[in-house]
Amino acid sequence: MDFEILLSFVLATSALAISPGPDNIYVLMQSIVNGKKFGLATVAGLITGCLVHTTLVAFGVSAIIKENDSLFFIIKLLGAIYLVYLAYKVFKSSGDLSFIDDSIPKKSLWELFKQGFIMNVLNPKVSIFFLAFFPGFLFSDQLSTVVQFYVLGLLFIAVSFIIFSLIAIMAGSISEYIKSNSKVGIYLKWLQIIVFVGIAVFILI
């Protein structure tokens, strides 16, 4: 078992969770408008949805690996290309972070949990991202690929849950800091680009 690979995975996941995206911005806005516990309910829903995508990727990719090593390499190559494409999309974006409180309706804790779960499960981009991200971090020759994918999935969920929860708890301070520091969005934008390209290179080598 290669713990350096797992550490690299945790660091990459942390950087991705911190970088602004639709999920953590949504959590931030729910926390600002409705309160911390409502943001945490949203986090719980989003993170629970990741289990579904982990299962789909674990069994699907594992079956492919058993059939053909060359096909698995093609999956990793396409995954690296997809990550570079995501970096390009971030590069083309403005990097500005805006908050519009009026656009967030108030909902119950259960409604926010369900919405977070459904948002995640019905988003095919999550499975595509896992498919691009996970294969490059297989860490053991002894464990089955299904087990390794579940370990990676649970690590991804744990790290994302911790960071998203901190975002929910510190929502007010984070939003005020971003509003008062116009360059934060640009720094986070380039963090995303570096992480996406770095993971793509890691997967290929």
Give the pLDDT of residue 48. Answer: 94
Task: Say which DSSP state 137 is in.
Answer: G
> Has residue 129 got a pLDDT over 70?
yes
The per-residue DSSP string of 72-130 comes to HHHHHHHHHHHHHHHHHHHHHS-------GGG-----HHHHHHHHHHHHHT-HHHHHHH
**Is the full-model pTM beyond 0.85?**
no
Task: Give the span between the Cα atoms of 71 and 90, in whole angstroms.
Answer: 29
Q: Tell me: pLDDT of 140 over 80.
A: yes
In the prediction, which pLDDT does 155 show?
A: 96
> pLDDT of 149-193, one tens digit each?
999 999 999 999 999 999 999 987 887 777 677 777 787 788 878
Distance from C-alpha of 198 to C-alpha of 130, rounded to nearest angstrom = 16
- The fraction of the chain above a pLDDT of 90, given in percent, is 30
Q: Return the higher-pLDDT residue of 24 and 94.
A: 24
